[in-house]
Amino acid sequence: MTDQTNQICQDSAVTVFLKKWLPLLLLLTLALFGFSQGWHSYFTLETLVENRTRLSGYVTDHFALTLLAYGVLYALAVAISFPGASFLTIVGGLLFGWAVGGLTTVLAATTGAGIVFLAARSAIGSALRARAGSFTERFADGFREDAFSYMLFLRLVPLFPFWLVNIVPALFQVRFATYAMATLIGILPGTFAYALVGSGLDSVIAAQLASNPGCLDDPTCTLTLDTGSVITGELIAAFVAMGVVSLMPPVLKALRKRRKAAKYG
């Protein structure tokens, strides 16, 4: 009877371990496999130009299916924290237009970010909380109290890597609905900025090919697309301004608490 009980306990422990860690381990395995296969090397302007006609044909003949495939690919890229999301956003704007491409990208990015969030919260969140000290616990409680405002700030202001902002709220046990809504709203400006660039990318490609005839047949020649130039100083200033506005509710709440404490303290 004891052996049977021990076996049941062991099976239960394995089940709990798999439930907690399997999603995150699958994402990490897929990410490592992708890097080992060089998937990131396909996110280049040369690859896009070489396949532009074929991709346009797919969009024309199978618009809905191609749009779905793009959304799934984008969500997967975000879920495994793969580099090149900005480039994919531009590709979406090029193939589907800034409105449809931008909206699809927002939904796909939110989905991919949600997958990472849930996987990290399941595997790491509870364990970290159990080991957290009093300061960390108070900080986490404060973050959760105004999670939407803080999340909106982190999404609007491009100071931190997207993958990092996907994981940190999971460690603080932020509600998924709050996380998803703040993510969806917060990535709207940047996503549509890149999608607008993508909608006019054909003229950029044509100009580069005109100045470098036969460039695609020359292995030493490369076409360039500076995605960093999309986020200009003026655009960053606008994002920061929106981020500051998003922080107003918790700041005002903190001021009210301080005044109340001073009045009755």
**Which has the closest alpha carbon to 208: 49, 72, 34?**
49
How does pLDDT run along the chain (265 residues), one tens digit per residue?
Answer: 465 555 555 555 556 666 778 888 898 999 899 888 888 788 877 788 778 889 999 999 999 999 999 999 999 999 998 887 888 999 999 999 999 999 999 999 999 999 999 988 887 766 655 555 555 667 677 788 888 888 988 888 877 788 888 888 888 888 999 999 999 998 998 899 889 888 888 776 676 666 666 666 666 666 666 655 555 565 566 666 666 666 666 666 665 666 665 555 5
Please, which residues have CB within 8 angstroms of residue 135's CB and are 6 or more apart in sequence? none
- Token couple for 111: 């989905």
Query: DSSP code of 161?
Result: -
**CA triplet 155, 230, 181: central angle to 5 degrees?**
20
At residue 10, the pLDDT reads 55
| Token duo for residue 159 | 């100071």
- Please state, in angstroms and rounded to a whole number, the distance separating the CA atoms of residues 152 and 247: 8
**Closest by alpha carbon to 240, among 167, 180, 179, 154?**
154
How far apart CA 44 and CA 79 sit, in angstroms, is 20
Tokens of 68: 């779905």
**Which residue type is seen at 42?**
Y
Amino acid at the residue 51: N
**Nearest one of 28, 189, 19 to 116, comparing CA atoms:** 28
Q: Is residue 217 within 8 Å of 109, Cβ to Cβ?
A: no
Q: What is the largest CA-CA distance in the chain?
A: 81
Confidence at residue 113, expressed as pLDDT on a 0 to 100 scale: 94
**Among candidates 59, 88, 94, 66, which has minimal Cα distance to 76?**
88
φ and ψ of 87, to 5 deg: -65, -40
pLDDT at 139: 67
